[in-house]
Amino acid sequence: MAIDPSYPSWARDLHSPPNPKSKSASSLQDPPGFSSSATGKRATLAKQQARKPPTAEETDILKVKKSWEVALAPAKQLPMNAIMMYMSGNSLQIFSIMMVFMLFKNPLQSLLQTNQVFSKYETPRTRSKMWVVKAVYVLMNLVALALGIWKVNGMGLLPTTRSDWLAWETQREPLERTILAF
């Protein structure tokens, strides 16, 4: 397909494929003010100073730090959960019931999966430090469960008064009886 020479050059460029360029960077000229010799020195320095792989001790330190982050994650959720529980109110509505369900479900699941959560951070050298991390993790999840119990008590769902147990109370036998006589 021949392109009319009366077209402007930008229109001819749009209709014709671009010229194939060479793959090597040496065929291209440097932009004004750029020196390729300076970047060549940097590239060779970067190749010479390649990053050495971390030692096993450094890896273990990083694993312990990461496990502490995981252990303290439930503590970071406590303020948010407390505010959400306070804002949802004490009435029995679907929203507050779902919030309380999630407040119990998540810590219970976390408690059951404690060893699985920390298995990727545990090595023979870090095993002695991991029991403290796991204890903090369990403690933070127990605090989250305590928050759920506080909320359920606030909703009036915990049987904490004597009137909640009336079904199991026996009727008192009177010591005396009074009979009215007319």
pLDDT in tens, 148-178: 999 999 998 888 888 888 888 888 888 888 8
pTM over 0.75: no
State the Rg of the chain over Cα: 37
Asked if pLDDT for residue 17 goes beyond 80, the answer is no
Is residue 182 very low, low, confident or very high in pLDDT (cuts 50, 70, 90)?
confident
Average model confidence (pLDDT) across the chain: 85
Single out the residue of 146, 144, 157, 159 nearest to residue 97, CA to CA: 157
> Length of the chain in residues, anyone?
182
**Distance of CA 52 to CAs 26, 32, 170, Å?**
31, 37, 78
- Cβ atoms within 10 A of the Cβ of 177, count? 5
Per DSSP, the three-state class of 16 is coil
Query: What's the distance, Cα to Cα, between the start and end of the chain in Å?
Result: 128
Q: Residues with Cβ < 8 Å from 91, sequence gap 6 or more?
A: 155
Single out the residue of 97, 78, 100, 96 nearest to residue 88, CA to CA: 96
CA pair distance 98, 171, nearest whole angstrom = 39
Asked if pLDDT for residue 2 goes beyond 60, the answer is yes
Is residue 11 very low, low, confident or very high in pLDDT (cuts 50, 70, 90)?
confident
Asked if pLDDT for residue 179 goes beyond 90, the answer is no
Least trusted range by pLDDT, from 56-65, 115-124, 169-178: 169-178
CA pair distance 172, 170, nearest whole angstrom = 6
Is residue 9 very low, low, confident or very high in pLDDT (cuts 50, 70, 90)?
confident
